[in-house]
Amino acid sequence: MTTSKDKNTLIHGIPPYQPQDGEEYMNEQQYEHFRQILLAWRQELMEEAGRTVTHLQDEAANLPDPADRATQEEEFALELRTRDRERKLLKRIESTIEKIDSGDYGFCDTCGIEIGLRRLEARPTAELCIDCKELAEIKEKQVAG
């Protein structure tokens, strides 16, 4: 039986990975663990997209009151922007699954060091280690600021 505390630690319905002493980083069990997280996340996003389509079809009404119509249109626009962000995220998830399949997952694209299991569980599509990510954010702020 799953307790409420256990539910808080699940990652898209998957319990966190528990590495064994001396276990090699990014072995087959770890690849499979992250593949399952990404597949579950992808499924959640696809289901949400389906609910959005149903919601937009069911709620689309020609409301006589202009204020009600404007509110509804704004809600729809917000929902569609959210789905667009999720569509982009789905592409990243697919790309990440491809990295798992090719054996390139879990290592920083910039410096090549291990990204780390806990960082990947927090952000399964991470492509940079925490140090390279922080440097990239600093550079981005300098360019934007």
Mean pLDDT across 4-20: 79
pLDDT in tens, 113-141: 999 999 999 999 999 999 999 999 999 99
Mean pLDDT across 21-42: 96
pLDDT in tens, 67-114: 887 888 888 888 889 889 999 999 999 999 999 999 999 999 999 999
Element (H, E) at 101: helix 66-102
With respect to residue 15, please indicate whether it lies within any of the assigned structural domains.
Answer: no
Q: What are phi and psi of 59, to 5 degrees?
A: -90, -15
pLDDT of residue 129: 96
With respect to residue 6, please indicate whether it lies within any of the assigned structural domains.
Answer: no
pLDDT of residue 1: 40
Amino acid letter for position 118: R
With respect to residue 7, please indicate whether it lies within any of the assigned structural domains.
Answer: no
- DSSP assignment letter at 64: S
Query: Which string of DSSP letters, residue by residue, matches 122-134?
Result: H-TT--S-HHHHH
With respect to residue 94, please indicate whether it lies within any of the assigned structural domains.
Answer: yes
Amino acid letter for position 32: E
- Which tokens hold the place of 1? 């039986």
Residue of 46, 48, 37, 47 lying closest to 15 (CA atoms): 37
With respect to residue 87, please indicate whether it lies within any of the assigned structural domains.
Answer: yes
Which CATH number do you get for residue 107? 1.20.120.910
Evaluate whether 14 touches 33 at the Cβ level (below 8 Å).
yes
Query: Which string of DSSP letters, residue by residue, matches 8-42?
Result: HH-BTTBPPP-PPTTPPTT-HHHHHHHHHHHHHHH
Per-residue pLDDT band at 4 (split at 50, 70, 90) = very low
Mean pLDDT across 22-34: 96
Rounded CA separation 65/69 (Å): 6
Question: pLDDT over 70 for what percent of the chain?
Answer: 92
With respect to residue 116, please indicate whether it lies within any of the assigned structural domains.
Answer: yes
pLDDT of residue 51: 84
Which domain covers residue 58, as residue numbers? 24-144
Count of domains observed in the chain: 1
The tokens 């599509």 sit on which residue? Answer: 125
